[in-house]
Amino acid sequence: MSKRLGLRIPDKAIMSLALNRGEYAIVEKFMNNKCFIVYYKPLRGLQQAVKAEVCGDIDQSRVGEVISLLMFSAAQTGLPWYIDFVDGLAKRETQLLDLISSRLLKTAVAAEIEQLAEPTNPQKRGLGVRSALS
């Protein structure tokens, strides 16, 4: 859209300035008019426009109903609360996976260091001789 207007700013910024709260605009259609790119400004939350792609076997006249549902369910971010909820779950899962990965890595590194510190000479193993790493 910004290219058509000859502007060098993101489409989201243009629509954030052009739309009032509760308004939406269909800016593009594709896939034989089965997909609509829509910007809307939520009723609450941030003042930025939100981009949505409404696709499927839906008539253009029904796009407003979909966007209305998104607008009325907006959280403080401007996105529907259920999207924020799922994002929060995904972030917690990522944090948990990072924690598990970190602990596994520490355990693996400790085991490898211990193995490297063991003497390779079988005669020294029984004498309690440790290498310089211990």
pLDDT by residue, tens only, the chain of 134 residues: 777 777 788 999 999 999 999 999 999 988 888 899 999 999 888 889 999 999 988 888 889 999 998 888 888 888 888 888 888 887 777 777 778 888 877 877 777 777 766 767 666 665 555 555 54
Residue 117's pLDDT is: 66
The rounded distance, in Å, linking the Cα atoms of 36 and 91 is 29
84, burial (CB in 10 Å: exposed 0-12, middle 13-18, buried 19+): middle
Tokens of 15: 């629509």
pLDDT at residue number 87: 82
pTM over 0.75, yes/no = no
